[in-house]
Amino acid sequence: MLVYLMAVAYILAGILHFVKPRMYMAIMPPYIPAPYAMVLLSGVAEVVVGVGLLFPATRHLAAWGLIALLVAVFPANLYMATSGKFHQFPAWALWARLPLQGLLIWWAWLYTK
């Protein structure tokens, strides 16, 4: 089932927030307060929803949590695409990431039922 792939992806992404926090801090829009704390908080959230997706009893709630998380981190993706600071990535990839968020939200929504 693809839900397990999703779960592992978010658990690993969440762990990366603690292993490479500078990478995540770089994409924080400047108006976000306490960027380091937000990186850690979003890392915890990704691990929690990832683990929640693994179990049928918590999958529904975890999927809704994931949707909320994806909406919450969208400003960072938008900042990456519009700030002009991320020349290491092709512009098309930064812009393509924005609608990808919609696809990820849809994928999570499939498990809200």
| CB contact burial 17-47 (16+ within 10 A = b; e otherwise) | beeeeeebeebbeeeeeebeebbbebbebbb
Q: Tell me the C-alpha distance between 68 and 15, whole Å.
A: 19
Whether the pLDDT of residue 1 is over 90: the answer is: no
Q: Tell me the C-alpha distance between 104 and 59, whole Å.
A: 15
Q: Tell me the C-alpha distance between 15 and 47, whole Å.
A: 7
Q: Residues 69-87: pLDDT tens digits?
A: 999 999 999 999 999 899 8
Q: Residues 4-21: pLDDT tens digits?
A: 999 999 999 999 999 999
Q: Residues 43-79: pLDDT tens digits?
A: 999 999 999 999 999 999 999 999 999 999 999 999 9
